[in-house]
Structure 1
């Protein structure tokens, strides 16, 4: 007990932030790594054995976003034949998609196969159909409003971090951008945070630019199409989702109608292991470096001092009770 009272000033002096894990390292080009469980609608499309013009094969990948249980929104040029023409079919020997897997070296989320592709035809956008429905992740909501210059949006992607990088990082990355110009079906977006040179790179193609609605739902406003070598300042070009939303809905509407409702969530579940082990839920944290993000929610910030006050009160009461009983025993002798 005496030791507790000696250590109490030290306990109270420890900053609340000290119990929070260290911030993830930077990634996207000059972006930030995403904590486990955040933005589970993000998809990595992996193509192994893509045919080349010389008769060989190559491997590549793209990014995308889940817009219904079976369909992923991505860039049209992610599916090209050996002659470089966009095609409405998987082109690789193996076309896979990982959904809700923030860290590609882990086993969170889902690993599925791409079995069908629909090309828009004019815009650089495609829809990739998965071999099974993902029903435990809330899909992105489609924007129906024309973007405005100056509007901010967040991007997530699994691309390279520099123009000369040889492999993509395992972890999903993010950054904030601002709309710089709006055309008929496209728009320009430039990096804002964490740096002005935050920019999408190769293999971020198809990554979703999104905003958050008042109810917390993520609303996709654009799809990464093309831009200068990364990192760079100035705009990259994205396809406007509001301009092609009717086409997207014509394909995914029946899938949305047939799927069970999924409430917006900031957690993801690990798949149950063989033998009936319960799935583990990971609570998501805001991305490091986001000035609008709290390290801990307000309730958590308040709970630490409250618990300490209650603990001190109980210990004080216990000491007083023992002293009172001691006095009674002494008087009875």
Structure 2
């Protein structure tokens, strides 16, 4: 297992940048999150993405709030028509839905994504929000590497069925995973609870894997990157964040905002998001992760 992970890492490193891995989605055979738990979890809705036929499509990713104005997610959630990761939004509108366990439920916050910064050599991106979000807890980025055998929790808004089937979840999903091995930029995890085949699915991309402790806040270890069809037993690959901690801190604390001067608007309202989510449900059978 350990050897195979590093073979995968070497192959990925040999690919020409930008790297565009096979995306992963929501959590199959997981459990619904209780209201008020894991409030840092983020749903990123994307409407008006360029489609292969010259039209547009809609999609979504998962993520986590790491600073009042910043969401961490998978780098491949922002890629151009050629599949290349880009440091910009690619949809006509990208909205972060925060502090809302049920995507179509009441409450929570919504904030428009106005800029994107891609990590070098890792499937990680930081999405900047137009306005800082207050009153919602953030998750701290790990400063130390994963530990083989440790148990991590994953949350995500991806599909809950096999690839090409299922539908967006009515509620944020979660499950526990065991770290099998890790490399310079990747972490290999396998489902643990509630089932051995608990696994990320399409649109779980960018979902946070994090450590839990009864006497300390959660700590972000990795974000969902790629894996086989779901549900399945065995490993998935996620992108480490501890070795990006310096870059993340520098980006999220910089006094120079990356927000374009011409950007305008203040995000969509709850009613508009319900309409967007309904469209996503109808299109989930043919659309993939961004």
TM-score class, shorter: 0.7 to 0.9
Deviation of the 1:146 alpha carbon: 1.1
Cα distance per residue 1:45-103 (max 9 Å; x no partner): 00011012331111110000000000000000000111111111110011111011101
Aligned counterpart, 1:11: none
C-alpha distance in structure 2 between counterparts of 1:203 and 1:103, whole Å = 16
Larger Rg: 1
Shift of 1:166: 5.0
1:37 CA drift (Å)? 1.2
Question: What is residue 107 of structure 1 aligned with on the other side?
Answer: 106
Contact 1:30 1:198 in 2 (8 A): yes
1:173 — aligned with what?
Answer: 173
Aligned to 2:89: 90
Q: Would the aligned equivalents of 2:145 and 2:242 in 1 still touch at CA under 8 Å? A: yes
After superposition, give the CA deviation of every residue in 1:170-206 in whole Å (9 maximum; x if it has no partner). Answer: 2100000000011111110000000000000000000
2:153–2:212 contact (8 Å) kept in structure 1: no
Aligned to 2:199: 199
Secondary structure of the 1:146 match is coil
Residue 220 (structure 2) pairs with residue 220 (structure 1): yes
Deviating beyond 6 angstroms after TM superposition, the runs of 4 or more aligned structure 1 residues are none
2:238 is paired with a residue of what secondary structure?
A: strand
- Name the SS for the 1:248 alignment partner: helix
* CA displacement, residues 16-43 of structure 1 (integer Å, 9 cap, x when unaligned): xxxxxxxxxxx92000001111110000
Question: Whole-Å Cα distance in 1 between the matches of residues 50 and 205 of structure 2?
Answer: 19
Is 1:120 equivalent to 2:116 in the alignment? Answer: no
Q: Distance in 1 between matches of 2:30 and 2:53?
A: 36
Which whole-Å CA distance do the structure 1 matches of 2:75 and 2:85 have between them? 7
Report the CA distance shift for 1:234/1:171 in structure 2 as closer, same or farther (over 3 A): same
Alpha-carbon contact 1:52-1:83 (below 8 Å) kept: no
Show the counterpart of 2:244.
Answer: 244
> Residue 232 of structure 2 corresponds to which residue in structure 1?
232
Partner Cα separation in structure 1 for residue 214 and residue 247 of structure 2: 26
What is the match of residue 34 of structure 1? 33
Q: Deviations over 1:116-142 (max 9, x none)?
A: 100013100000011111120111001
Partner of 1:144: 143
For each residue in 1:283-319, what CA deviation from the matched residue of structure 2 results, as whole angstroms up to 9, or x when unmatched? xxxxxxxxxxxxxxxxxxxxxxxxxxxxxxxxxxxxx
Q: Secondary structure at the match of 1:67?
A: strand
Higher strand share: 2
Q: CA deviation at 1:164?
A: 2.8
Task: Tell me the number of residue pairs that the alignment of Structure 1 and Structure 2 aligns.
Answer: 230
Map 1:151-190 to 2 at 5 A.
151-162=150-161, 163-190=163-190
What is the TM-score of this pair, normalised by structure 1?
0.67
Secondary structure in 1 matching 2:178: strand
The structure where helix makes up a greater share of residues is: 1
Moved more, 226-235 or 49-58: 49-58
Q: Distance in 2 between matches of 1:114 and 1:32?
A: 28
RMSD, matched Cα: 1.6
Structure 1: runs of 5 or more not aligned? 1-26, 256-333
Deviates more, 1:45-54 or 1:183-192: 45-54
- Cα distance in 1 for residues equivalent to 2:172 and 2:93: 22
Query: Could you list the per-position Cα deviations for residues 259-289 of structure 1 after superposition, in whole angstroms to 9, with x for gaps in the alignment?
Result: xxxxxxxxxxxxxxxxxxxxxxxxxxxxxxx
Higher relative contact order (CA 8 A, sep 6+): 2
In the alignment, the residues of structure 1 paired with residue 39 and residue 145 of structure 2 have an alpha-carbon distance, to the nearest angstrom, of: 25
Asked if 1:76 corresponds to 2:102, the answer is: no
Unaligned segments of structure 2, at least 5 residues: 1-25, 256-290
